[in-house]
A and B are shown apart, each in its own frame.
Chain A
Amino acid sequence: DTEVTQTPKHLVMGMTNKKSLKCEQHMGHRAMYWYKQKAKKPPELMFVYSYEKLSINESVPSRFSPECPNSSLLNLHLHALQPEDSALYLCASSQGRGRGFSNQPQHFGDGTRLSIL
């Protein structure tokens, strides 16, 4: 079992639906990440939150909207997605303390497998 919990594990939605992915960690980490992973490909970074503030947005379409309500929670709000958005969405966290946090390990959840009809 991982220490980063993602819900739901699977999600099927239509292109007009609005849904949210949730991620939770209780390791006291202050940096949290969203990645997208297509089949047989490595994870691709989407968003980074550091101390609850968005620090990196890798030119992700606005139909993906991240939210970090507190240091333990990370959400990804989905709206008007396209079939090509079907993928495994991974959440990760790392310590995120001070300037040295750039080389701290990231811990991943098991992801939400998203299918867009």
Chain B
Amino acid sequence: GENVEQHPSTLSVQEGDSAVIKCTYSDSASNYFPWYKQELGKGPQLIIDIRSNVGEKKDQRIAVTLNKTAKHFSLHITETQPEDSAVYFCAAKVLYNNNDMRFGAGTRLTVKP
């Protein structure tokens, strides 16, 4: 089955700096890669996603890149703000396994003011 690895597990940056979180996946059939932000006491919130026919997608300060050959994808947050502090999860969708979506282990991002 699909295996998603995510790193780093924790990341601390100064406000205004950039943050990068990286994930790798094992199943070349995966074609959908969402990123979720989870704040304390809340459920995961979809912040951006990318499909396998696209190499990069950007939404304001957030961007995601996908390298299908290397089977890795990354989340980039620019001009970080304290409210970006949260746990971020990447995920990969296994196309032929109906609705099964595998998550990475998560990255705790802390943005220091």
The residues of A with any CB-CB pair to B shorter than 8 Å are 2, 4, 6, 31, 33, 40-43, 45, 48, 50, 55-56, 90, 92, 94, 96, 101-103, 105-111
Contacts and interface: CB of A to CB of B under 8 A. Distances in A.
Nearest to A9: B41
A31 to B, nearest CB: 6
A48 B99 contact: yes
Contacts, number: 64
B106 A40 contact: yes
Contacts of A92: 43
B20 interface: no
B46 A50 contact: no
Given A2-B43, A105-B49, A107-B46, A43 B103 contact: yes
Given A45-B100, A56-B98, A108 B45 contact: yes
A105 B99 contact: no
Contacts of B41: 110
A102 B98 contact: yes
